[in-house]
Structures are given as structure tokens and as C-alpha cells.
Homo-oligomer: A and B are copies of this chain.
Amino acid sequence: MAGYVSEAVIRRLPGYYRHLKELENEGVKQISSQGLGERMSLTASQIRQDINCFGGFGRQGYGYSVPELREHIGEILGLNKVHNMIIVGAGNIGRAVALSDSFPANNFCTIALFDTDKQKIGTRIGGIDVKDMETIASFLKNNPVDIAVLAVPLETAQQTAECLCDNGVHAVWNFVPVDLKLAPEVKVVNVHLEEGLEILSFKMKHQDNT
């Protein structure tokens, strides 16, 4: 159904999904591109364009059915299936991801944590077992993993990511401040936290910049 979708549109999809879920929770049944635009600070035109990448989910003279559109966008995002994740690195960030209760709610399920620290191996974090990093290859052979969360030290990140990919992982959520060089078919989303702070710093310094 959907042909090529630009990165710009992809980046906005989760925002649509989030707002539609909120609207649904508020009991709103219908919304126009205009109304959604005001809420999301986007133009009505852009919203109609974006949605129409995937099909005509609206009705002229009426607008969009909130639950219906939410359902469609959820499906487009692939949120109708459960995604198994492993977290690699049980440091501050790996821990925070493991303990988060908002990802499970969205069908992302962490099935194991890996670390090299003997102290941590064998313990549980948020109900998830911490396993020995050495055993990761065999674990991946025996368990279906969709996404690996990479939260290891900088020095080992590239090597660890390669190991994951060699063992069948094809999506990496990378929290390490490095640009991983992986096969093009491997999907990577970077969360370079420091960059957010640096951008804030820049914007404070250049107030005038529109």
C-alpha cells in the first residue's frame, strides 16, 4: 500500500501515533487535519499529505476517525506485533531502559540483559535476568530477538554491534556516542544524548537565531 516514504514523514509518524492515542484516551472520536495540526503544531496541509502516503483514511466533510486512524498508524509502525529486545550493557542507561515501564506498554518486550561484569551477571534488573556477555551468541541462536539496545562503553561499541549483527540482529537502538559502521540492511536508530545538551547550549548562545 505504501510506496516510498520519506525520512521526514517517518520521523513524524510516532508523534501522530502518540497524539491519536491521547485523543482516544480523552474520548475524542473525530478530528480534522486542522484540529490535529493545531494540537501538534503542524499545518493541516502537511498532515493530510503525510497521512495520504498510506491511504485515504479520512472522509471529506467529516475528517478522520480517531480510533481508526490510530489503529492504521499503529499498524504502519508495526506496533501490532510484539518486538523482543535484548539490552546489551547493564550500566546506567541499560538499567534505565530495563526498568522503564513505557516500552512494554507499547509491545516492546525485553527478554534479557547482557553484561561482562561478574558482579551483575546472575542478578535481575526489573525482572529481567542479567546474563554473561560471553553467552550472547548462543542466546541469539536460540531466542528470537528483533532489536538490540546497545549501551556498552564506547571502546567496545563497534565490535559488540558487529557481533550482534553476525548473530542475526538487524535492528540496533544505539545509545553509544559513536557512528556505527554496519551492513546497510541493519537498521540503526541513534540516541546521542550529549548532542541534545549541546544543541540546547547552542540555542541559548544564539538566541537571535530566529
Q: Which residues of A contact B (CB under 8 A)?
A: 2, 4-5, 10-11, 13-15, 17-18, 40-41, 76-79, 83, 92-93, 95-97, 99-100, 102-103, 106, 108, 146-147, 170-171, 173, 177, 179, 185, 187, 189, 191-207, 209-210
Contacts and interface: CB of A to CB of B under 8 A. Distances in A.
Q: How many copies does the complex hold?
A: 2
Contacts of A13: 198-199, 202
6 contacts: A10-B199, A14-B194, A18-B195, A103-B193, A103-B197, A191-B191
A148 to B, nearest CB: 10
A195 B78 CA distance: 12
A201 B92 CA distance: 24
Given A41-B179, A93-B100, 6 more contacts: A14-B195, A77-B205, A146-B204, A147-B200, A170-B204, A173-B197
